[in-house]
Amino acid sequence: MYAVRWRQRFAAAFYRYVRPGLNHRLKQKMSKKPFLVTLLPAIEVDLGRWLLHHWQIDYDEHPHAPIFHILALFWYGFGPKGYPLFIRDRQKYSTVEGMVKNLDPLVAPEIRLVPDATSEKALHDEVMKLRHEFHAEIGSGSRTWAYFNLLPHKKLTWGSFTTGVPWWETFFLSFGYGIIKYLLSKSIGLGAKQAQVGLDKVRADFDRCEAMLSDGRQYLVGDRLTLADLTFATAGAPMVLANGYGGHLPTIDEVPPEMRSIIAELRTRPAGAYIQRIYDEHRLKAPARSS
C-alpha cells in the first residue's frame, strides 16, 4: 500500500511539474525567435517588454522567479542586475539602457522613444534625465512598498513569481517560498520605515508628474510618446495595479485593506489616470505599423 501511494504521488508530481517543464525547455530550444530573459514581476522587465512591443519586435519571453533569475543571467554571462536581457542573433542587450542604446536608433524615426542627441538635444537630455530620475525615485519606491506589503501573502505573489517559469522554480517555491521571501527582503532592505519612505517617493513623483501635465500636455516631454512616459508608467503601475502590466499583479479586491486604500487614492489622482491612459493607448492596443 505504501509503495502504491508513493508511485501515485510521484506520478502526480511528474505530470504537475516535470512534464510541463520539459515541454517548456524543448520549446525554448526549438525557438529561433529573439527572446527576453526576465525577472518575471520586475518593473524594469515590464519596461523591456513594452520597448519590444513598441518597436514591433517579435520575441519569446523566458521568465524566471526572483533569485532564480540570477542563475539565468549568470548562464548568459551577466550579473544579478543584468535584466531584462534581450538576445537576438547571438547579440545580447542587457538592461533597459542597453536595449535603448542599441535598438532604438534602428527603428523607424516615428516610433523612436529617445529624441536625437544632436538635432533635438534639449528634448533628448530632458527625456534621459527623467528616465534616470523616475527609475531611481518612483521605481525604487514602488518596488519597496509593493514587496513589503505583498511578500507576506504567498497567494498574492504566486502568479507574479511562477507564471511561465521553469518547473523546478515552481517546485522549489511550493515549499521554499519562505527562503525566497527572506532573501528578497534582505536584498531590497524591506521594513515598515523603508516602505513609508518608498511611498513618499511615489507621492513626490506623482506631484512632479501632475505639475508637468497641468498645462494640458498629453506626454511628459514634447508632443509624442518617449522613454520618459514609459518609465513613469511602468514604475507607477504597481501603485495603481495598472491594467496591462505584464508582471501579473493582483486585483484591488485581493490586496490587504491597508494597500487598497492607498491604491484607490493614487488611482484617483491625475498621475494615476495618466499611467492607465499610457497603458491603454500604447500597450493594450497594437502599435501602429511603421512604414
Q: What pLDDT, on the 0 to 100 scale, is given for residue 287?
A: 62
Helices 43-54 and 95-103, axial angle in degrees (round to 10)? 10
Q: What pLDDT, on the 0 to 100 scale, is given for residue 20?
A: 52
Strands 85-88 and 91-94: antiparallel
Q: What's the CA gap between 12 and 237, in Å, rounded?
A: 37
Are residues 100 and 185 part of one domain?
no
Answer whether residue 289 is part of any domain: no
Are residues 129 and 105 part of one domain?
no
Digitized pLDDT (tens) for each residue of the chain, 291 residues in all? 444 454 445 444 444 544 455 445 445 444 579 999 999 999 999 999 999 999 999 999 999 999 999 999 999 999 999 999 999 998 999 999 999 999 999 999 999 999 999 999 999 999 999 999 999 999 999 999 999 999 999 999 999 999 999 999 999 999 999 999 999 999 999 999 999 999 999 999 999 999 999 999 999 999 999 999 999 999 999 999 999 999 999 999 999 999 999 999 999 999 999 999 999 999 987 665 544
Are residues 83 and 218 part of one domain?
no
| DSSP codes joined into one string, 124-145 | HHHHHHHHHHHIIIIIHHHHHH
Q: Residue 218 maps to which CATH number?
A: 1.20.1050
Please enumerate in sequence order all residues whose Cβ is within 8 A of that of 105, keeping only pairs 6 or more positions apart, or say none. Answer: 112
Answer whether residue 162 is part of any domain: yes
Q: What pLDDT, on the 0 to 100 scale, is given for residue 6?
A: 43
Are residues 213 and 70 part of one domain?
no
| Of the residues 54, 82, 111, the one at which a domain ends | 111
Answer whether residue 287 is part of any domain: no
Q: What pLDDT, on the 0 to 100 scale, is given for residue 286?
A: 63
Return the C-alpha cell found at 142.
514602488
Do the beta carbons of residue 83 and residue 39 sit within 8 Å? yes
Q: Residue 56 maps to which CATH number?
A: 3.40.30.10
Give me the domain span that covers residue 270. Answer: 121-282
Are residues 52 and 8 part of one domain?
yes
| DSSP codes joined into one string, 81-129 | T--SEEEETTEEEEHHHHHHHHHGGGS-GGG-SS--TTTTHHHHHHHHH
Phi and psi torsions of 86, nearest 5°: -105, 130
Q: How many CB atoms lie within 10 A of CB 30?
A: 7
Do the beta carbons of residue 255 and residue 267 sit within 8 Å? no
- Cα 195 → chain centroid: 19
Return the C-alpha cell found at 226.
518617449
Are residues 103 and 136 part of one domain?
no
Are residues 232 and 93 part of one domain?
no
Number of domains comprising the chain: 2
